[in-house]
Amino acid sequence: MLNRRHFLTGTAAVAATGALAACAKTNNTTSASSTGGAAKTLTLGFSQVGSESGWRAANTQSVKDAAAAAGINLKFSDAEQKQENQIAAIRSYIQQKVDVISFSPVVVTGWDTVLQEAKAAKIPVILTDRSVDVSDPSLYVTLIGSDFEAEGERAAHLMEHVLQGHTGPVNLAQLEGTTGSAPAIDRTKGFAKVMAASDPTWKIVVTQTGNFTRDGGKQVMAAFLQSHPEINALFAQNDDMALGAIQAIEAAGKKPGVDIKIVSCDGVHDGFVAMTQGKINAIAECNPLLGPQLMDAAKQVAAGKTDLPKWIKTKESDFTQDQAAAALPTRKY
């Protein structure tokens, strides 16, 4: 992996993650009776943001596999990228009186009312992957996920690494994620912060959402190349948009990774394959395998523990083309 002095900013997993795992090994969810009795199966209601990418597919599978391994009854719903669907799912879980509610929010705002309903029903809420902006932080117990702003910063440093030795201006395009989502907001912020301090001839000439999808990346990149043929670098906020952009770049008769340098976020299998082919230059990893941490936390909050860290960060790394071939066989997503 790269020298982390430049390419990674404080994404080491917090010590609490180990505490969660240790607790899970010794405590099964049981009935409230301290005198024994039949074990009570913990029920977790989980609302997934959608199925927009390879990263999300891996995240969903991790949650399902971890629930099965932990003996937790999982009620799962796919919001199809719509906040109203997610709110309806959470209300359904409240009506079903599940033990714990968890969700990966479609967008940052608009959650106060439904989370107040969950709190009134005394059902603890755990956020995964993405954060929310609420007036009362006690409406959720903890967030398990990445530091997206740091990912944006890491991606920018990777871009600096990729462009070492480049002469002349850098005309950079940016494919953003879903508008209003935490990763899109924070990755944009982190990337811009580092770029502002970089070579003044490096400029972000165009930016638009590709909605975290491969098709969105392809369509938007095709439009970028029509309006800005001078583009010679691309920051895609996830691998799927980068993979779609590669199709558009090749259709325009240019070589991805050569004529247009590409840095993305996530680190899914197809992204690593593209790196081995020389089409993506570097990836700032975003780990989707949150299932085990979620199940550990769910067991604890169902047992009445409310003093978990407010943010349990995931452990992540950075990768470049020269590392891709060796890392690919061991990738779990």
- The 10s digit of each residue's pLDDT in 134-165 is 999 999 999 999 999 999 999 999 999 999 99
Q: What is the mean pLDDT of residues 174-198?
A: 96
The pLDDT confidence band at residue 40, using thresholds 50, 70 and 90, is: confident
Q: How much is the average pLDDT of 87-94?
A: 99
Q: What is the pLDDT of residue 185?
A: 97
53, 58, 64, 65: CA torsion to nearest 10: 170
Cα dist from 310 to 17, 98, 126, 220, whole Å: 12, 22, 10, 36
Q: Tell me the average pLDDT of the chain.
A: 90
Which residues, in sequence order, are CB contacts of 100 under 8 Å at separation 6+? 42, 43, 44, 45, 123, 124, 125, 126, 298, 301, 302
Q: Which domains does the chain have, with CATH numbers?
A: 13-146+288-314 (3.40.50.2300), 148-285 (3.40.50.2300)
Beta bridge partner(s), residue 285:
266
Read off the pLDDT band of 54 (50, 70, 90): confident
pLDDT at 206 over 90: yes
**What is the average pLDDT across 131-136?**
96
Model's pTM, two decimal places? 0.82
Model confidence pLDDT, tens digit, residues 262-319: 999 999 999 999 999 999 999 999 999 999 999 999 999 999 998 999 999 998 999 9
pLDDT score at 38: 54
Predicted pLDDT at 280: 99
